[in-house]
Amino acid sequence: MFSKLPFALLAGAFAVAAAAADRPSTAPGVDPAAETVVRTALRGIAPGVQFDSITPSALPGFYQVIASGQLVYVSTDGRYMLHGDLVDLSAKRNLSERGWAAFRKAELAKVPASQRIVFAPPNPKYTVTVFSDVNCGYCRMFHSHIDQLNAEGIAVEYLAWPREGVTTTAGDPTDTYKEMVSVWCAPDRKAAFTAAKQGKAPKPATCPNPVKDEYELGVKLGVDGTPMIIGPDGMVLGGYLPPDKLLSLLQKGS
């Protein structure tokens, strides 16, 4: 049944990706004719789909397709679609995870430092990106360790991801979105962010801000909950992690 396939295969599932550039792939090894076939096949079941990445796959005869927070494999003749992890048994590697990581790393590199809320030691050994909500319990628990994380040489760069979304079903801004906008618009973002994590709502404020864009970026990168901790290589390290566990994972990956 189509309803059980990835993306929910409904055009509405792709609405948040409407801002994504839907242009021909420039990835080496992608045949323009085959790419057109792949796009046409997917649009046959989800007319509104916006493609973020189409690249060659290690699976012969298939392309790796990333769209609206989903990664699938589609045959170059447009007949078959696979949804699930592609594992190289000989190398014992999850190729799907690595495909996601490369995509996340490239997309996150486009976010200016000025749009992040950064807590960093003078000379960080590691830097992680964390999609966070100011109100979620595990986000608050993670931030309660920020001094210890910095002491371990870990810089934390926060991006906004209001779990309630940006708007309600009635089209009004959600309470969490408004609160996060107020944090990003505060004269001292770091102080406002920490206070919000402690349950102290920021003074209402508005300004040009990246909260909506960062929320949509999170959806595009497969974020479905907070916190989501992403390592320097684009790999997801986990949700809430205590400092010792996070440091151990970063050391193993370095």
pLDDT at residue 242, rounded to an integer: 95
pLDDT digits (tens, 9 = 90+) for 163-216: 999 999 999 999 999 999 999 999 999 999 999 999 998 999 999 999 999 999
pLDDT at residue 14, rounded to an integer: 40
Q: Whose structure tokens read 């595990």?
A: 138
User: Is residue 12 very low, low, confident or very high in pLDDT (cuts 50, 70, 90)?
Assistant: very low
pTM summary value: 0.85
Question: Any idea what DSSP says for residue 167?
Answer: B
**How far from chain centre, in Å, is Cα 147?**
25
Sort strands 126-132 and 154-160 into parallel, antiparallel or unpaired: parallel
Rounded mean pLDDT, 15-25: 48
pLDDT at residue 27, rounded to an integer: 76
Highest mean pLDDT among 36-50, 59-73, 143-157 belongs to 143-157
User: Which domains are present in the chain?
Assistant: 2-96 (3.10.450.70), 113-253 (3.40.30.10)
Give 71's contacts (C-beta < 8 A, 6+ positions apart).
64, 65, 96, 99, 100, 222
pLDDT at residue 71, rounded to an integer: 93
Question: In whole angstroms, how far apart are CA 94 and each of 97, 100, 109, 175, 231?
Answer: 6, 10, 23, 38, 16
User: Is residue 9 very low, low, confident or very high in pLDDT (cuts 50, 70, 90)?
Assistant: very low
Question: Any idea what DSSP says for residue 173?
Answer: B
